[in-house]
Structure 1
Amino acid sequence: MRSLLYILSALAVMGLAYWAYSENYKTQASLDRAHALQSEIGRMQEELTVLRAEWAYLNRPDRLRDLARMNYDKLELNVLEPGQFGRVDQIAFGEDELPEITGAVEVMGEIEQ
Structure 2
Amino acid sequence: MTYVIAQPCVDVKDKACIQECPVDCIYEGQRALYIHPEECVDCGACEPVCPVEAIFYEDDTPQEWAQYKAVNAEFFDELGSPGGASALGLIERDHPVVAGQPVRTG
> Do both share a fold (TM > 0.5)?
no
Larger Rg: 1
The higher relative CO (CA closer than 8 Å, separation ≥ 6) is in 2
- TM-score with structure 2 length normalisation? 0.16
